[in-house]
Amino acid sequence: MGMKRTDLALETKECVEAEKELKGVSLTRIEEHGMCVSTVQILTEKAEKIMGKARGTYITIEERENTSMEMVGQMLAKQLSTLLDVKKIKTLLVVGLGNREITPDALGPLTVDEITISRHMYTNFGTKAKKWGYGISVEAIAPGVMAQTGMEVLEVVKGLQKETKPEAIVVIDALAARSVHRLFRTIQLTDTGIAPGAGVGNRRCALNQKKLGIPVIAIGVPTVVDSQTIVEDFLEKILEEMKLDKENGASCFEKMEKEKIESMIMTDKEVDQKVQNCAACIGMALDLFAGHKLQS
């Protein structure tokens, strides 16, 4: 079996380490306010190739039972401030990736609906906007997907960047996980940017600092998981309970691969409400971040 598809650096590290020794990747964990915050740093070119992810920092916030949305939002804002210094920027562009018409992919556009837009306030009233509580100038767009617009998101963002000249970009997108237990309960932040569509195997042009010349922070929540991953995990559990090793069960996996189910994507039956809740949480975090209202 190959590595199970996931957009989460934490899961990739877990998968790789299960098969081989992994160097050039560091992991730190802290428990705070009922949440687990894991920071994965990919440090070397070799580790970058093994992990299949760009060198940089990946922060994963895992929600526990009974954690309030307000606490998660405050934690997200706090962790975002470790990747992007709000005191050094005056203008921020938020890009909500995804297709609004497909619920598991609608996280980005729904988040754009939730955030406080303030660029027009600065355009019309100048520094008075700051006195009125607008910490920095925030603009946002939900550019849709290529099938809707005929344009790469990178082309749209570059056009906006040329006109409005933001000093940093935050990109929001839905992700894929390898564990159903992490769906809608995990948030990943990274300073490496993002490749739109990667979660469902439809990778488009990447949005990152190398392409755009300014800091690009990606925030994502896993909303889908491969059906093949679910079946593999179930089979592995059965093999373990029957005290059979993977060689004895190899035929099961081979037969499953022949069934061509890897293109099927699964999500939660309550996906509508959960995507909306995640969008509201990220929107709140961005408002806290942009408004200089971080709590200790």
Does position 243 have pLDDT exceeding 80, yes or no? no
Residue 162 parent element (H or E): helix 153-164
In the chain, the number of structural domains is 1
Residue 163 placed within a domain: yes
Residue 19 placed within a domain: no
Does position 32 have pLDDT exceeding 90, yes or no? no
* Domain containing residue 207: 83-290
The reported pTM is 0.87
Residue 23 placed within a domain: no
Q: Give 231's contacts (C-beta < 8 A, 6+ positions apart).
A: 256, 261
Residue 195 placed within a domain: yes
In the prediction, which pLDDT does 1 show? 47
Residue 120 placed within a domain: yes
The answer to whether the Cα torsion of 198, 183, 47, 19 is positive or negative is negative
Domain with residue 147: its CATH number is 3.40.50.1450
Residue 75 placed within a domain: no
- Residue 127: pLDDT band (50, 70, 90) is confident
Pick the range with the lowest mean pLDDT from 14-23, 159-168, 174-183: 14-23
Residue 155 placed within a domain: yes
In this prediction, residues 12-19 reach a mean pLDDT of 74
- Residue 34: pLDDT band (50, 70, 90) is confident
Residue 176 CA neighbour count, 13 Å, CB half: 24
Which residue, among 186, 165, 172, has the nearest Cα to 143 in the 3D structure? 172
- Residue 285: pLDDT band (50, 70, 90) is very high
Residue 253 placed within a domain: yes
Tens of pLDDT, residues 139-176 = 999 999 888 889 999 999 999 999 999 999 999 999 99
Does position 129 have pLDDT exceeding 80, yes or no? yes
Which residue, among 50, 184, 38, has the nearest Cα to 106 in the 3D structure? 184
Pick the range with the lowest mean pLDDT from 48-52, 130-134, 198-202: 198-202
